[in-house]
Amino acid sequence: MSGFRSLSSGLRALQPAAFGADPSGERLTRIRRSPHFKDGVFQNPGGTARTRPSGSTVDFAKVFFDKDERPRRAPKGTVPVYPTTLADIARPPATGLRLTWMGHSSVLAEIDGKRVLFDPVWGERCSPFSFVGPKRLHPVPLPLAALGPVDVVVISHDHYDHLDLPTIKALAGTDTLFAVPLGVGAHLEHWGVSADRLRELDWHEATEVGGLTLTATPARHFCGRGLRNTQHTLWASWSVAGAEHHIFHSGDTGYFDGFADIGAEHGPFDATMIQIGAYSDFWPDIHMTPEEGMRAHLDLQGGRPHGVMMPIHWATFNLATHPWAEPGEGTVAAARATGSRIAVPRPGEPFEPTAETVPSDPWWRAVAQAPAGGWPDADTPTEAATKTASDSAAEAGADSAVQGKSAEGTGEPETVSAG
């Protein structure tokens, strides 16, 4: 037995810092007390979710190596990053609410006089190593130091494309607070964030930061950074409520009926930031398609179009085999089919969700390989989006009845389960 302990200690010593740390002590005790922790792991809402690619390796290889589809997985030109300036984000939002999508799931939200930074990833790769792993398809719109003071950093879960070691270490030297799901604080403390700056929450728990109420809400996903996936850190979506505005960030999640419950308790929202990228039939339980993302948005808004939905988790890293532009196109189609309002800013483009206009130009078409039949007509929703509309209408009718009664920058995805 002593030999096994020595080997284990040696392997731990070789682990890169980016692997983080496992929860221990009082943090682990708290995890074990959680009503969402059972049989040694955190449990997903809606039952067990498949967290690794399903189907045969042969089937996956056929999709991955398809010579006709592979070129469409990356932009064919330079992604038009908005030339964000210090003046853009130094000027207070006229409406009291402004969002700036920095790419992937990173969003700076300025809400009722406070600044919230969701899932900040400023690193070049979402990987524990600097020389391998999915690489950015566009640069960060603005240096991290240029953002200025941030009141709270919100983390959805501990996967590399949401919790980035270089970014956290840079923020550790500031005064910002961190709101994280239960267990994730172990990583941050390991990287130099003091315990008194952590607000570590289980689902349905809330914390107050400068007049904002931040609530960790359920999501359907998984966790893990190292060679093991212990399911000892929680994943979450987030509701943020200020004096005048409410916003929602989905983190990573598969679709589940709990969005309606979140909306009933915390909504409706002025803006939702919804994950609609890196989906696949090989892992349908843990990421949403654009149609599912729109359905989640409507659930969060009580079943009726309200507020603005901004698609996130796309265009920056290639983590699946779908075409690079497909998440954007799918979101536009789903919005038209349901009569919902969306914002599709370029990375770095600030906008105010409650203003009269929001970014709506399909900017990705200029740098993406067009599908075989060309880009769809503006007034022709996809079949899947039409199904979303009919499903939403049917559910709304039922509710009414009840109430009446890549590797080296090539854009090629890694052959690992998407995070």
Query: pLDDT, tens digit, for every residue of 270-298?
Result: 999 999 999 998 899 999 999 999 999 99
pTM of the complete model beyond 0.85: yes
Helix (H, G, I), strand (E, B) or coil at 142: coil
Q: pLDDT: is 205 or 379 the higher one?
A: 205
Q: Does position 401 have pLDDT exceeding 60, yes or no?
A: no
pLDDT value of position 246: 98
Average the pLDDT over each of 78-82, 123-127, 397-401 and give the range with the smallest value.
397-401
Alpha helices, H only, 120-276: 165-172, 185-190, 258-266
Average the pLDDT over each of 83-97, 255-269, 347-361 and give the range with the smallest value.
83-97
Element housing 198 (H / E): strand 198-201
CA angle 143, 148, 154 (to 5 degrees): 85
pLDDT in tens, 5-16: 444 444 444 578
- Which tokens go with 116? 């919230």
Q: Which residue has the tokens 């009291």?
A: 96
For residues 332-358, average pLDDT: 97
Residue of 218, 199, 188, 187 whose CA lies nearest to 151: 199
Other C-beta atoms closer than 10 Å to the C-beta of 189 total 18
Residue of 314, 310, 299 whose CA lies nearest to 342: 310
Q: Which residue has the tokens 């770095």?
A: 348
pLDDT in tens, 26-42: 999 999 999 999 988 99
pLDDT value of position 72: 76
Question: In angstroms, rounded to a whole number, what is the distance separating the alpha carbons of residues 40 and 21?
Answer: 17
pLDDT value of position 76: 93
- Which tokens go with 278? 């890196």
For residues 160-178, average pLDDT: 96
Residue of 171, 399, 198, 197 whose CA lies nearest to 304: 399
What pLDDT band is residue 61 in, cutting at 50, 70 and 90? low
Question: In angstroms, rounded to a whole number, what is the distance separating the alpha carbons of residues 384 and 295?
Answer: 12
For residues 225-239, average pLDDT: 82
Contacts of 342 (CB under 8 A, 6+ apart): 308, 309, 310, 311, 331, 332, 335, 358, 360
Q: pLDDT: is 399 or 108 the higher one?
A: 108
Residue of 292, 251, 233 whose CA lies nearest to 27: 233
